[in-house]
Amino acid sequence: MTTLYANGWIATCDDEGTEHESGWLLVDGGGIASVGAGSEPAADERVDLAGALVTPGLVNTHHHLYQTLTRARAQQADLFSWLRELYPVWAGIDAEAEYAAARTGLAELALSGCSTVFDHHYVFPRGRTGLVEAEVQAARELGVRLVASRGSMDLGASDGGLPPDELVEDIDSVLADTQRLVAELHETGPGARVQMAVAPCSPFSVTKRLMTESAALARRLGLVLHTHLAETAEEEAYCLELYGATPVEYLTDLGWLGGDVWCAHCVHLSADDTADFAASGTGVAHCPTSNLRLGAGVAPVRDYLDAGVRVGLGVDGSASNERGDLLFEVKQALLVARGRGGASAMTAREALQLGTRGGAGLLGRDDLGSLEPGKRADFAVWRTDGLELGGAIDPVAGIVLSAPHRVDRLVVEGEDVVRGGALVRADEGEIARGHRAQARRFAP
């Protein structure tokens, strides 16, 4: 079955930044057969895009889906105060709540044009099972790709860590459960819809031994590896006191840095840290809205890109970025880069690249992130005939600079996930109602 999506402005996000102003995209099953302009190839079905903009599906590289249950809390708190207030609330999570939260977060992301989501789940209250499985079920039902993670915390407050003792686990359980989930859920090869990553939470909530053993496990199983790093100045002071090293020095000592690793935030990297990230291939999940919300600062992403550091974007959890909208995060990345470095610090197309190619690269997915023959058919269609883009002669700059927008159509593996601005496989109102019922259980 072939489908030709014709009469659109196709922004491929390939290496050359190719765009076809009046172009077409030929999809064969779940993959892209060809992209071009001019005379149209034959296809079983032809869809007229009426001048809409087509981009690759956006890729979210840092999230905590469960946090949709606890939005707008700790409103003036910095990271550590925010965490201390919320850890006890999050201790109430179970599979039912996680499922409702994941449905909500994934639906929001899909409606913002996001086709692939990494979720960093690290709260596993003792005795609660099925949390990661609940996320996976939600992703499969909605039709988006999910890279889930079996995160962890094992450094409780009584050992000098930040989380309460009741929320930390022992190392052997963490590693055994990670292996179980990988065996049950992780798919390999092009087009994989569900994958697993290994993702201990942070230097201030995980012991040195679990950090080391997590990296060894990820490398033995061929999985990507992730953690939070250098989010705030307080974290740096904490690491210096506890480990006698900055967060990046600490990670380097543990043998973490590498092309299979990406770290969330990295707001506070020195020039030497940046060079080490570039040389080792270590990536950064830039989460500008969350960093602004918690007053953590603004990551020097222009410097990272100039140094050759790999960068993708993340909305981060909805307790520190109440809006799970990845196109809006593309705009935020542009705005904060310009706030730091002036009007030429980042173009709209560079920002879009971070939200597509950049993110796919961090997740180790060379089959996603651009619209090229041989890649999977994951793309977003953005209408250009509404109020917000009137007068915009350049739809790529127009869509980024005027974000957020609800995507008109989101296609994953050749199949519609969103059509006409609505979820195809689920009802938005029903998701919201189910979520409200679960969220009430977490209310003060």
Token duo for residue 34: 């060809």
- In terms of CB distance, is 355 or 395 closer to Zn ion? 355
Token duo for residue 414: 């050749």
Q: Where are the beta strands (DSSP E) in 181-301?
A: 194-200, 225-229, 261-265, 283-286
Q: Which of 331, 262, 320, 328 is nearest to 292 (CA)?
A: 320
Q: Name the segment binding Zn ion (CB under 5 A); options: 85-93, 193-201, 309-317, 419-427.
A: 309-317
**Footprint on residues 371-430 left by Zn ion (CB under 5 A):** none
Q: Name the segment binding Zn ion (CB under 5 A); options: 106-114, 292-300, 308-316, 366-374.
A: 308-316
Minimum gap (Å) between residue 347 Cβ and Zn ion: 27
Minimum gap (Å) between residue 149 Cβ and Zn ion: 11
Cβ burial of 33 (10 Å; 0-12, 13-18, 19+) is: middle
- In terms of CB distance, is 121 or 409 closer to Zn ion? 121
Minimum gap (Å) between residue 268 Cβ and Zn ion: 15
- In terms of CB distance, is 24 or 262 closer to Zn ion? 262
Minimum gap (Å) between residue 39 Cβ and Zn ion: 48
- In terms of CB distance, is 19 or 316 closer to Zn ion? 316
What is the radius of gyration, based on Cα positions, of the chain?
A: 21
- In terms of CB distance, is 316 or 329 closer to Zn ion? 316
- In terms of CB distance, is 276 or 316 closer to Zn ion? 316
- In terms of CB distance, is 26 or 230 closer to Zn ion? 230
CA angle 182, 183, 186 (to 5 degrees): 50
Q: Name the segment binding Zn ion (CB under 5 A); options: 217-225, 269-277, 299-307, 314-322.
A: 314-322
Helix 208-221 with 171-185: angle, nearest 10 deg = 20
Rounded to whole angstroms, how far apart are CA atoms 281 and 285?
13
Minimum gap (Å) between residue 182 Cβ and Zn ion: 22
- In terms of CB distance, is 58 or 377 closer to Zn ion? 58
Minimum gap (Å) between residue 314 Cβ and Zn ion: 7
Minimum gap (Å) between residue 111 Cβ and Zn ion: 21
Q: Name the segment binding Zn ion (CB under 5 A); options: 89-97, 208-216, 311-319, 322-330.
A: 311-319
- In terms of CB distance, is 260 or 316 closer to Zn ion? 316
Minimum gap (Å) between residue 253 Cβ and Zn ion: 23
How many residues does this entry show for the chain?
444
Minimum gap (Å) between residue 264 Cβ and Zn ion: 5
Minimum gap (Å) between residue 225 Cβ and Zn ion: 15
Q: How many CB atoms lie within 10 A of CB 187?
A: 11
**Footprint on residues 315-344 left by Zn ion (CB under 5 A):** 316
SS3 content of the chain, % helix, strand, coil (to 5): 40, 20, 40
Side-chain-side CA neighbours of residue 343 (13 Å): 0
Residues contacting 8, CB < 8 A, separation 6+: 22, 23, 24, 25, 49, 51, 52, 53, 54, 381
Q: 3-state class of 405 per DSSP?
A: coil
Q: 3-state class of 116 per DSSP?
A: strand
- In terms of CB distance, is 359 or 398 closer to Zn ion? 359
Amino acid at 209: R
Alpha-carbon distances, residue 151 vs 62, 168, 236, 300 (angstroms): 12, 11, 21, 27
Rounded to whole angstroms, how far apart are CA atoms 127 and 124?
8
Nearest-CB residue for Zn ion: 316
* Maximum Cα–Cα distance across the chain: 69
Binding site for Zn ion (CB under 5 A): 316
